[in-house]
Amino acid sequence: MEELIAKRYIKALKGDLDLKTVQNISSVFNALEDSFKDDRFVSIITSPEVNAKSKSEILLEAVKPANSEKINNLIKLLVENKRVSIIPAIAKELKKDIAKTTKTYEGVIYSDSDIDTKVIDQLGKGLSKKFDSVITFLFIKNDFNGIKVEVEGLGIEINFSKDRIDSQIIDHIIKAI
């Protein structure tokens, strides 16, 4: 639900802005999104005991270095409509919008074993060609027994599980007997 509301605000915000300006606005909202990872900040900003004026002052002070009237007006509007909590969703949707416009996406590779950076780069180049975009990958080592590749902006998810492959081989052998 928040994503839909965030998209409406972004559509109104973007209007006739160029890509560079939208990227600058996105960096401001990314910084605000980081603030929402602090529990104390969230408790103050979402507290019904803190009045709207104080919330507005806190957020406007945070975005002051951007020196943008559009951002200031959006912050005021979010506070007025009691929608401050969607700021992280606005940041994510701005990232997606910029990625879609520039055709530049970031993906994640999950695996329990180390993967060579050359293989990661080749995978990025191969998918980039296929989707006519620039795709870069971040490797995250975790307990996934296999390899999982995700590019959220394009809706790509490729999954090779060692357990599933083993069970399919066993099933195939049993059927052959």
Q: Which of 99, 132, 150 lies at the terminal end of a domain, its last residue? A: 99
Residue 155: band (very low, low, confident or very high) from pLDDT cuts 50, 70, 90: confident
Give the domain range for residue 172.
103-176
Element of type H or E holding 170:
helix 162-176
> Do 128 and 167 touch, CB atoms closer than 8 A?
no
- What is the number of domains present in the chain? 2
Residue 138: band (very low, low, confident or very high) from pLDDT cuts 50, 70, 90: very high
Cβ count near 150 (within 10 Å):
17
Same domain, 150 and 63: no
- Of the two residues 14 and 132, the one the predictor is more confident about is 132
Same domain, 52 and 133: no
Same domain, 118 and 77: no
Mode of pairing for the β-strands spanning 104-111 and 156-161: unpaired
Q: Which of 54, 79, 99 lies at the terminal end of a domain, its last residue? A: 99
Which of 18-22, 75-79, 99-103, 167-171 shows the lowest per-residue confidence on average (mean pLDDT)?
Answer: 167-171
pLDDT in tens, 75-132: 999 999 989 899 999 999 999 889 988 999 999 999 888 888 898 899 899 989 999 9
Q: Which of 99, 122, 156 lies at the terminal end of a domain, its last residue? A: 99
What CATH number has the domain bearing residue 46? 1.10.520.20
Report the distance separating Cα 99 and Cα 154, nearest Å: 10
